[in-house]
Structure formats: structure tokens, C-alpha cells
A and B are shown apart, each in its own frame.
Chain A
Amino acid sequence: MSKPRLVLIGNGMAGVRTIEELLKIAPDHYEITIFGAEPHPNYNRILLSPVLAGEMSLPEIVLNELDWYREHGITLHTGKQIVRIDRARRMVVADDGSEAPYDRLLVATGSTPFVLPIPGNDLPGVIGYRDIKDTDEMIEAARHKHAVVIGGGLLGLEAANGLKLRGMDVTVVHLGPWLLERQLDEVAGKMLQKSLEDKGLKFLLQKQTEALLPGEGGRVGSVRFKDGMQIAADLVVMAAGIRPNYALAEQSGIYCNRGIVVNDTMQTYDPKIYAVGECVSHRGIAYGLVAPLFEQAKVAANHLAGFGISRYVGSVTSTKLKVTGIDLFSAGDFMGGEATDDILLNDPAGGVYKKLVLKNNRLVGAVLYGDTSEGPWYFQLIKDERDVHDIRDQLIFGQSLVGDAGHQGESRAASMPDSAEVCGCNGVCKGTIVKAIKEQGLFSLDEVKKHTKAASSCGSCSGLVEQILSSTIGGAYTPAASDKKPICACTEHSHDKVRQSIRDEHLTTKEMVFAEMGWLTANGCDKCRPAINYYLISTWPHEAKDDPQSRLINERSHANIQKDGTYSVVPRMWGGLTTPAELRAIADVAEKFQVPTVKVTGGQRIDLLGIKKADLPAVWADLNAAGMVSGHAYGKSIRTVKTCVGAEHCRFGTQLAMDLGVKLEKMLFDMYAPHKVKLAVSGCPRNCAEAGIKDVGVIGVDSGYELYVGGNGGIKTEVAQFLCKVKTDEEVMEYGGAFLQLYREEARYLERTCHWLERVGLDYVKGLMVDDADNRRALHERLLAALKDAKDPWQTSREGAALKQFIPIAVDA
């Protein structure tokens, strides 16, 4: 049976991206043919600016080599423009007369530069700035002296900067009152103009061009303005805007209105015809940046592949100017208006300007000049529509007041030299990341992770990598709103959506989740399976069965795997307390199994490192016999409750810290959570148990206890926030338990309490479990019910079928 035929018109960024997305999810679905008017394979149009500036060469910006088309069996016609779509016969016709029939057609014809309707606009030496040909012409024209760029938008300024670097005398003519008036407010626009003037560019603002006049040899020679002024110009670049290129579609009777009109599935009025990219008008908006177009591409691919489950609902965009040495970022609605408030930081001498626009306590826009390091964070807050009233007073100073660990506190990617190490785990420096982004055409954090390994381990440098991405590819980089981000490539659904379906549809197995939610892979991957398993067992405790094969190795084998494939074993020492008998048993095990390393951990207990997997059941049997159980040092689960000696012994102690610590740890035994959970109890405010950096910290005071939540001592040191004060041990258990149950029910998998709190806000949590006593009790009871009859996993893994994984099969070979 022959495959249905898919034809793509427009071998550009949005069209080919759709094909890539399609090949990922339905590799053999179509016989694909692509027509492109340009004589090149698909290249990274946004990098034409660095090419013009002489920072990159043309071969470097190709995204899909000819081999790529060949390997995927795609028939490619370069240098052929489609002149007619014959919808009745389902054919496209090219300018050389060749024809191609289609079953599905994808139109991605991009846009064309807007050419001012003035006399002389067709003179040699007058060009738009859109493709390789234009760029070549501009480079070629750079041997002349005077260049005039009409339009002080992103494209115009990047063109002007490039031509200046190529030695021309460049004047930017702009109709608006300040530069980039669609991206910047006046203050930032003026600061930008000043920096560009320092680079040698000239500006004529609020000038209206009247005519282009020929010079010697018929080439353009000068520009005349309405006010009579005239300046020399051997090259005129029209960068006064772009126009969606939809003439072809319109002529063939497809409904257009300032763009090819599509619905949320990227389908045009002709159901066989889809459209994506700058040529499209979606809900009345035509986008001119890559990030939204890539979102469209993903949706179109999903429908072309026949999955039919995703929708494009529009994008919030952000922009960055790609002029080396200038740091500028804007996103959302930054001009503000009625019902909005501005937060401003203006330091002209330091060259920094920041403006945040808030509406109903939500960030709706941001302009940053000089220091754009917080751009990705603000952008995320805008997309997430997070209520920021509780962090309003610190918002303008950014998220990274406290530096992340492991990259020398560096938080501004732009100021880092190429040789600076960005990812401390994998030793990746800035230059390597920039190079990979440019040469391999990477557009997202995930792609950078895959190709460079940066940010792929502990993730603490993700923010830096995002900044590097956005400064390298401008507005092409957009993080998805995190409540909509798909869990992984196996699905379109977000963590929140999956959890909600599990609850609402009463799903109790991963197979039900896959079927109900239309998973794209047969049985998920290492990202979604552990998350789903957690959501299942935390939503339906005692009902959903734990699936060991969906757990990563540490949780599956109840021990931590080491680099050499051996394991480490950490028995629980409740509250950090032990006995001579326990110590003796540990010593015996260490000797009997020749454990190479015995170490005191940072969690107040003892680690036996370097144990062979086959020995684990026997090691556990010995420890169990001495009354010890698993310490869960391996799990997204309760880890430790650290204590100080407290009023039991200490001359300053106000409360029995050890006693309460042990009670808490027993209450939480075998508790799985979105991420690991650590507690501490100190007997007085001297806080020797470091309760200030724990998920739940308890500090004894004379009148009772102060409770703190959301602390973290790991990758990003985060001081815990004060939750409330309580009087009795029972209250500590109830409040602490309720807080953790809320976290278990609502946080996304792999979100520590500090990240969850940052997302939802402490006030939200307080409302549910401090102010609302009934709900608090209900939460606490649900926790106790879920943990009822908890068994020691070491005990249960030594029995029955679970034991098999530890026994290697010996063969005679």
C-alpha cells in the first residue's frame, strides 16, 4: 500500500521544524516532498545577523544538510517556487512547471520584508533583509561607504551593527520616538541608543523618508526626508517591518486575513491544508519570532501524524537583541497602562535599567537593560501567571540573591568569558555551549542538555544555560509555561495534568495512564515512569501497586549504586541515635562482608560503602536481626531527622530535641514523596541541628516550637521560611505531617519543598494547613493512613520474587 503524500511549501524554519517533529512521532507515515524558493537547504535564519557581523559563516548556520533530507527519504526541490495550489486536483505547481500531488499540504511560506512605497524603492542597492541572498548583497555592498538602515527595530539594529562592523558609515532612520519602541520603553530605548552611538552608529529619529534618489551609475545615492534633509546612501536596507507571505494561499481560495487563517490545530479553512510560521494568522496574531512558530510546528505535526490531541493556544513572546556587548531583554506587556503597577530600578551610571509591570499581583511584562540575567526567570513568572504578592518586595532584585552552588556564584552569563566553566558536574564551559547552539542549531534547554551535557546532571546551572541560549539566539528561546510543560517526549501532558487524571479518572496502573492519556510511547521512559509510579501510589495508597520496574535502580534495590556498580547501605539511626549493640552489628557486617569503606554521613548515621549487589540481602538480614531497618538513603522519600542533644543533656536546651526527632522519624517511616525529605529538630535557637536548611525544621523555644519549612542545603542553598509557632510535640507532628502530605499531594515529581514553595507561595500553603484546622487534621490523617502498616523494604525485598533481582545467573561459559 502506498503512503499518503505530504507536500511542504517553504523550506524554512517553521516548515522543516514541523517535518522534524512529525518524523519524531510518526517516522514512516508520509511520502514527503518539500519545495523551497531559495537554492539552499533549511538554515537558521536568525543567525544571518552574526553572519552579517562577520562572527559566523554561511555553512555554519545550515540546520538540515542535504544528507538529512536524503536519509529521511524526503524529496527536496530547492530553487523552485510554487506558483499555484490546485485544490480541486490536490496538486501544487512550481514556477518551472513541475507538479506534485498531495494528500496533505503544509504551507510555511514565511514573510517578506515590507518595502516602503516611495519613489526609488526599486533602485539597485536597496534591499530588504530576509535571506542569504540579501545578506550576501549587503556584505558585497559593504565596500561602499554610506549605509542607511530604515527602521530601528530588532532587525534594523542588527543589520546596522553588522554593516558598521564591516566598516560602513551607518545611519539608522526611525519613525518612532525611540528605538525598539515595540520592545522597550523610552528610558531603556534611550540607553540602548547611547550604547549603540558609542559603537559608532548614527541615528535619525522621528524622520519620515520621502524618496530614494539615484546616484552615479544608477545605483541608489541618497535618501531624502519629508523635512527636506538629504543624506548620502550607497546602500539602503529596508527593515521597516515584515508582511506575512500569504498571496499564494489567498489566490488559491484559502481564507486569509493578514495571514493564512488557521484554527488551534493549525488547520486552514481547507481541512487538507495546514499552515505554520510567519505566514499564519492565529487568533488574529501573526508571530515574527521562532519560539512561537516552533510551538505551532509541534501542534501541526501532532495532527498530521493523526494523533489529534494537541492545540496551539498562542504564545507570550520575549525578545533579545543579538548585538554582541549589548544586553537587552523584554517580554510580555511592558508598557503597562491602566490597572498596572511598575517596579523600577534605574541606575544610569551603572548602565542598568529594569522595569517590571504587574497587574493584579501578577507579572505581565518586563524590560531589562544592562543586566538581563533574570530575564528567563521573569519570563517564566509571566508565563506561569504566578501570584507574586509575597515576593513583590524582592522581585526586582531577582531570583538569584542567593547563588547556586558549584559555579563560583556566577549568575550573569553575558559577562562570563568563553573559558568559564558553566556546568560544574560535567565540566562544560561557556564557549562550548555557544558553539553547540550555533553549529548544531539548538533552541531549547533540553537540546543543549543532550548535546553538551551541560545542566544534565544536578541542574544547578540551568539558569545560566538558559541565559546563554537567549543571548545567542535572541527571542528564539522560550521556556514553556511550567504548568503546561510536557513531562517528557512521551506525552503532551504536564505533571499537573497527569496527576489530575489519575485522581479524577481513578487510574491505578501505568497501563491505564498510558491508554487513558494517549501516551506516544509503548511504555514511557526513565523520566515519566518514575513520576507516574509516584503519582499512582501517593494518590491511591494501598490500592495502586508499586511498580519496581518503574523505579530507578536505587529505589528498586533499596541501596545506592556506586560508580563501580557496587552499592552502599545506610541503616536508619532514628534521630541520629544509636546503641552499642547497633554499632557492634554494623561492625560485624562490615567485617563479615569485607565492606571497604565505613563512613559517617552528613545525615548523622553510618554508611557502608562498596557492597556487592548479591550480598545485599544477607547484609540486610544481619542488620534486621539487630533491629535495624532501611535508612532510605536512596529514595525520593523520608531521609533523616537530624537532632541535637537538646534538653536531654544540653545546658541551654529548652525542649527534648532527640525525643521529638525520633517520634517524627517514626511517624514518617517509608514515606515516599516527590523528592527527598529531610527534617531537623534543635533544642534551642542556637540550632545545632541546622533546622534552617531542612524541608521541615523545628526549633525549640521556651514556650514551644518554631516551625520552618522549605529549607534546602543542597544545590541551591535556601533558608527555610517561618511557618508558625506551636506549643506541643503533638502539634509539631500534626503541622509537620500536614505540610508534608500537602507537598506529597501537590508538588510535581522531583520538586523539592523549596521549589514547590517558590512556585505556589508560602501563603497558599499556610491558608491550607495553618489557618484551616480541619483541613490540617484531614491532611495529617491522610498521611498516617498512607503510611499505615509500612514495612521495612529490606525485609520485604529479601523474600519471594523480589529476591531474584539480587541473584546473578551463573553459566558455564
Chain B
Amino acid sequence: MSNWIEICPLDDIPRLGSRIVQRKSGGDIAIFRTADDTVFALHDKCPHKGGPLSQGLVHGQRVTCPLHGWNIGLADGQALAPDVGGCDRFAVQVDENRMVRISV
């Protein structure tokens, strides 16, 4: 059922950084890589005022939004308290050849 698409080799995403994935159907996806090579994907739209999370600073399993500094959990897409709000998540796989896929 789920539709896995190949994105890029893991090393094309900087550690503690991200890349933007553009869908034809619209709605960019931000794909993040943590220090220990865990990969997460979120809708590239901050729950606060829609800032591009892909442009944020990644630390631990969080990203700080570039516009007003909300912290969003990469695993659950939820804003860190006391802020409230969330954005969509996408499932991610990294295969044995270090290729990243996401399910959209």
C-alpha cells in the first residue's frame, strides 16, 4: 500500500542538516539527518506561521524553525511545549546501500 520513493543517497544530506524534497503534487517535504544518521521527514511547513523547517537548525531529534525559533520534534512533528501545533510526518527508510526512501 505504502508507496516508497527513492530520494537520494544518505550522504547527500548533511549531518545535522536537511534537504528539500519537491513533490509534483505540491507541498514540499523536509528531510533531516541527525548526528547518528537517523533520517526523518516532515512537511516543510512550521505549525506556527508556515516557516520552511528544512532551513532550520537541527539538534538532537529536533529542528529549530528559521523564522521565529519554535522547536519541532523530528520524530512526532509536534512543537515543543509550551508551543502547540504539529506538522505531517512521512515514513523514512535507509537501505543497506545507504539509499534514503520515503513513503508518500
B28: chain A residues at CB < 8 Å are 808
The interface size bin for chain B is 35 or more
Q: Known: A457-B68, A522-B35. Contact between A809 and B55, CB under 8 A?
A: no
**B17, B35, B36, B104: which contacts A813 (Cβ < 8 A)?**
B104
Interface string of A782-813 (1 = CB under 8 A from B): 00000000000000000000001100111111
A563 at interface, CB cutoff 8 A? yes
A561, B66: Cβ atoms under 8 Å? yes
A523, B49: Cβ atoms under 8 Å? no
A810, B15: Cβ atoms under 8 Å? no
A59 at interface, CB cutoff 8 A? no
A526, B22: Cβ atoms under 8 Å? no
Name A490-543 residues within 8 Å CB distance of B. 521-526, 529-530
Interface string of A411-429 (1 = CB under 8 A from B): 0000000000000000000
**B52, B59, B62: which contacts A565 (Cβ < 8 A)?**
B52
The closest CB in chain B to the CB of A526 belongs to B64
Bound: A548/B58 CA distance, A: 11
B99 at interface, CB cutoff 8 A? no
Q: Known: A549-B16, A563-B49. Contact between A529 and B60, CB under 8 A?
A: no
A563: chain B residues at CB < 8 Å are 49, 67
B10 at interface, CB cutoff 8 A? no
B37 at interface, CB cutoff 8 A? no
Tell me, rounded to whole Å, the shortest Cβ–Cβ distance linking B24 to chain A: 6
B20, A809: Cβ atoms under 8 Å? yes
Q: Known: A450-B82, A561-B66. Contact between A549 and B20, CB under 8 A?
A: no
**A456, A523, A553, A812: which contacts B5 (Cβ < 8 A)?**
A812
A553, B35: Cβ atoms under 8 Å? no
Tell me, rounded to whole Å, the shortest Cβ–Cβ distance linking B15 to chain A: 7
**A523, A526, A548, A810: which contacts B35 (Cβ < 8 A)?**
A523
Bound: A757/B17 CA distance, A: 36
Bound: A521/B64 CA distance, A: 15
**B7, B16, B50, B68: which contacts A809 (Cβ < 8 A)?**
B7
B55, A561: Cβ atoms under 8 Å? yes
The interface size bin for chain A is 20 to 34
B88 at interface, CB cutoff 8 A? no
Most buried by B among A450, A451, A557, A804: A804
**A550, A552, A613, A813: which contacts B23 (Cβ < 8 A)?**
A813
The closest CB in chain B to the CB of A524 belongs to B59
B57 at interface, CB cutoff 8 A? yes
A811, B58: Cβ atoms under 8 Å? no
Interface string of A547-563 (1 = CB under 8 A from B): 01111110001000101
Name A2-39 residues within 8 Å CB distance of B. none
Q: Known: A804-B12, A805-B17, A813-B23. Contact between A451 and B5, CB under 8 A?
A: no
Q: Known: A565-B55, A812-B24. Contact between A804 and B35, CB under 8 A?
A: no
A813: chain B residues at CB < 8 Å are 3, 5, 23-25, 104
A613: chain B residues at CB < 8 Å are 55
Bound: A450/B8 CA distance, A: 37
B87 at interface, CB cutoff 8 A? no
**B12, B15, B23: which contacts A549 (Cβ < 8 A)?**
B15
A805, B23: Cβ atoms under 8 Å? no
The closest CB in chain B to the CB of A451 belongs to B82
B86 at interface, CB cutoff 8 A? no
B59: chain A residues at CB < 8 Å are 521, 523-526, 529
Bound: A549/B3 CA distance, A: 31
A523: chain B residues at CB < 8 Å are 16, 35, 59-60
B56: chain A residues at CB < 8 Å are 526, 553
23 A/B residue pairs, CB under 8 Å, sorted by A: A450-B82, A521-B60, A526-B71, A529-B57, A549-B58, A550-B16, A550-B57, A553-B55, A561-B66, A563-B49, A565-B52, A613-B55, A804-B12, A805-B17, A805-B19, A808-B28, A809-B22, A810-B21, A810-B24, A811-B23, A811-B104, A812-B24, A813-B104
Nearest 7 pairs of A and B residues by beta carbon:
A526-B64, A553-B66, A549-B16, A808-B20, A565-B52, A553-B55, A808-B22
Residues of A participating in the B interface, judged by any CB pair closer than 8 Å: 450-451, 456-457, 521-526, 529-530, 548-553, 557, 561, 563, 565, 613, 804-805, 808-813
Known A-B contacts: A451-B82, A565-B50, A804-B12. Give 5 more (CB < 8 A). Answer: A526-B57, A530-B57, A549-B14, A550-B57, A812-B24
